[in-house]
């Protein structure tokens, strides 16, 4: 496992493409290009981590964090996502990769991680529960894709105790765990 590099954008776009075109795991309709993915990574660099895993240097999965919501009061919570290529699924890769991401976010000082999962999605629900997330709600029938309405389950994991006032989360580069991960 390692940090995502700019050169990984094409591989990440390739992993994500089938999720966009063939599933409701994401509500995106048009697959982003490698340039779009590179821009997404660059936009959050220095604030939110992206990590990858692979075999023989090829990226087979990635996980990342982003702002949970844009308004400033939400800055202590993050939304997390993970996508794996089919060969990486069912081998414990997702748990290891997601665990690394969650450890980095906790070390940064974020308080909560939020997973927003299209339902039904038994594999993703099982992964989130295994990682310590609890279901906190459902947005019923909020997305329409591939000819069907779909709900979104909200799953939440506490990363750090609440403090009053809370400390501002650190940049990934200020966290020893992040600096120790190959880049």
Q: What is the pLDDT of residue 68?
A: 97
Contact 41, 6 (CB under 8 A): yes
Check residue 49 and report its DSSP letter.
-
Cα(57)–Cα(53) distance, integer angstroms: 8
Residue-wise pLDDT for 63-76, tens only, equals 999 999 999 999 99
Could you tell me the pLDDT band of residue 90, with boundaries at 50, 70 and 90? confident
Residue 100 has pLDDT above 90, yes or no: yes
The angle subtended at Cα 40 by Cα 100 and Cα 14, nearest 5°, is 75
- The pTM of the full predicted model, rounded to 2 decimals, is 0.95
Sorted by where each starts, the structural domains of the chain and their CATH numbers stand as: 2-170 (3.40.630.30)
91 vs 140, more confident: 140
Distances (CA, A) of 147 to 53, 144, 168, 172: 33, 7, 43, 40
Mean pLDDT of the 118-132 span: 96
Residue 87 has pLDDT above 90, yes or no: no
Q: What is the pLDDT of residue 183?
A: 80
Cα(168)–Cα(110) distance, integer angstroms: 8
DSSP letters, 109-132, are T--EEEEEEEES-HHHHHHHHHTT
Residue 57 has pLDDT above 80, yes or no: no
Cα(92)–Cα(68) distance, integer angstroms: 26
Could you tell me the pLDDT band of residue 55, with boundaries at 50, 70 and 90? confident
Contact 98, 88 (CB under 8 A): no
Cα(13)–Cα(40) distance, integer angstroms: 11
Q: What is the pLDDT of residue 118?
A: 97
Distances (CA, A) of 34 to 6, 12, 79, 136: 10, 8, 22, 34
Q: What is the pLDDT of residue 78?
A: 98
99 vs 57, more confident: 99
């Amino acid at each position: 496992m390692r940090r995502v590099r700019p050169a990984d954008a094409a591989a990440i776009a390739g992993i994500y493409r089938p999720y966009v075109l063939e599933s409701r795991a994401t509500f995106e309709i048009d697959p982003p290009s490698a340039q779009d993915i590179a821009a997404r990574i660059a936009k959050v660099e220095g604030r939110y981590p992206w990590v990858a895993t692979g075999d023989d240097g090829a990226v087979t999965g990635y996980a990342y964090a982003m702002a949970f919501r844009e308004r400033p009061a939400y800055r202590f919570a993050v939304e997390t996502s993970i996508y794996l290529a089919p060969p990486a699924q069912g081998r414990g890769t997702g748990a290891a990769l997601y665990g690394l991401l969650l450890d980095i976010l906790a070390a940064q000082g974020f308080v909560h991680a939020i997973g927003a999962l299209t339902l039904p999605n038994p594999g993703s629900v099982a992964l989130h529960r295994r990682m310590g997330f609890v279901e906190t709600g459902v947005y019923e029938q909020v997305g329409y894709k591939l000819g069907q309405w779909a709900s979104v389950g909200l799953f939440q994991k506490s990363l750090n105790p609440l403090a009053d006032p809370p400390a501002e989360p650190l940049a990934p580069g200020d966290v020893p765990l992040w600096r120790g991960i190959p880049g």
